[in-house]
């Protein structure tokens, strides 16, 4: 059994090859990306992601360091059969979910209005 490709059609007689958009019709993405509304959006996202990532990774690595270098502390009983090590491992999951929820909250409250403003500014520039 062989694989057959779709037949290639020959161009119509007298047909012109497709041409790229003329420079006058191409959108000026550099101007839109350098605009103040888009810069505010990127800055807000970087700041939020930086804090959330830094805090969650910091907690994760703190737990790893404690597990490696503070074994007696991690073996201390916290609740019944659970020791501090297990509590911190469970807390890693809670911190991860908390970071995801905080990012979602920031996306709805901060990023979406900034993205709409950047989109409106880009559409306004494109109409000129």
DSSP 76: S
Q: Which pLDDT band, with edges at 50, 70 and 90, does 15 fall under?
A: low
Considering the entire predicted model, what is its pTM? 0.70
> Considering only 30-39, 49-58, 91-100, which range has the smallest mean pLDDT?
30-39
Task: Determine the 3-state secondary structure of 79 from DSSP.
Answer: strand
> How far is residue 66 from each of residues 9, 14, 62, 85, measured CA to CA in Å?
68, 76, 6, 8
Residue 34 tokens, joined: 């350098």
- Any idea which of 27-41, 47-61, 64-78, 84-98 has the lowest mean pLDDT? 27-41
Is 90 exceeded by the pLDDT of residue 101?
yes
Whole-number pLDDT of residue 51: 97
């Amino acid at each position: 059994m062989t694989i057959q490709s779709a037949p290639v059609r020959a161009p119509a007689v007298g047909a012109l090859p497709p041409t790229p958009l003329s420079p006058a019709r191409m959108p000026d993405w550099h101007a839109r990306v350098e605009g103040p509304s888009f810069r505010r959006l990127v800055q807000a996202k970087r700041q939020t992601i930086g804090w959330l990532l830094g805090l969650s990774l910091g907690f994760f690595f703190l737990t790893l360091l404690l597990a490696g270098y503070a074994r007696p502390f991690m073996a201390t009983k916290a609740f019944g059969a659970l020791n501090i090590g297990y509590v911190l491992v469970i807390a890693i999951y809670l911190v991860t979910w908390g970071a995801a929820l905080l990012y979602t909250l920031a996306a709805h409250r901060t990023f979406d209005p900034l993205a709409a403003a950047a989109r409106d500014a880009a559409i306004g520039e494109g109409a000129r």
